[in-house]
Amino acid sequence: MNGINTLKNHYERLTLINRKTGKVSSTHHWFLALGTHSYLLNHKEGIASLLPLAKAHKTIKHNFLTLKKKRPGKNGTSRDFARQEAVKILPQLEMLYRSNLKSYQKFLKRNFCLWIKKEINTPYTKAHQLATSMDLSYLSEGNNNVRWWMDQLKKMQS
C-alpha cells in the first residue's frame, strides 16, 4: 500500500479481513484499520502514536489488511458504475465476438450475452483482458448474469 495516497482515494477503504474465513473481521473498525496500516508502515511517532498501535499488533496476527471498494452513497451506486462501464465496452466486445463467429453462424443477441458472461469472468480471455486494460473493475469483478447483459444491450439500442 502506498501510504497516504491510499487514504485519499474516495472509492476504497482499509478493511481488516480474517485469515481463516476470508470475511471482514469481527474486530474491524475504521480506526483500528487505520492503526494497523500505520503499524505496518512502521509509523509510530507523532500523530500516528494516537492510533491503537498495540491493538493493531494483536489483530494483525489473525487478520490481514486490504483495500475494499466503498459503497458509493447518493452520488452513484456500484450498479450505476457497472452500467456505465458496460456502455463503454459493449461495442468492442461485439466486434471481438463477431470476429470469432464462423461464416455460417448468425449473430444472436442471446448467444452474444452468453459469450460475454462466460468470457468476461474468465481470467486470461480476450474479453477479460480488454475489461482490465480499460480499468473496468465493476464488470471484471462482478458476476453479472445473461439477463443483465441483454438489458444493457437493449438500453444501448434504444
Confidence of residue 1 (pLDDT cuts 50, 70, 90): very low
| Helices marked H in 63-122 | 78-100, 109-120
* Predicted confidence (pLDDT) at residue 32 exceeds the cutoff of 60: yes
Q: Is there a single domain that holds both residue 8 and residue 27?
A: yes
146-155 per-position pLDDT tens digit? 898 888 888 7
Q: Is there a single domain that holds both residue 87 and residue 151?
A: yes
Domain extent, residue 121, equals 78-157
Q: Is there a single domain that holds both residue 88 and residue 22?
A: no
Q: Is there a single domain that holds both residue 63 and residue 94?
A: no
Mean pLDDT score, 25-47? 80
Q: Which three cell numbers stand for residue 100?
A: 470469432
Number of structural domains (the chain) is: 2
* Average confidence score pLDDT of the chain: 80
Q: Is there a single domain that holds both residue 98 and residue 34?
A: no
Angle CA 65–66–72, to nearest 5: 130
Q: Is there a single domain that holds both residue 25 and residue 42?
A: yes
Q: Is there a single domain that holds both residue 48 and residue 93?
A: no
Measuring CA to CA, which residue among 31, 97, 96, 22 is closest to residue 64? 22
Q: Is there a single domain that holds both residue 83 and residue 43?
A: no
86-136 per-position pLDDT tens digit? 888 888 999 999 998 888 989 888 999 999 888 888 888 888 888 888 888
* Predicted confidence (pLDDT) at residue 71 exceeds the cutoff of 80: no
Q: What pLDDT does 4 receive?
A: 47
pTM of the model: 0.52
* Predicted confidence (pLDDT) at residue 59 exceeds the cutoff of 80: yes
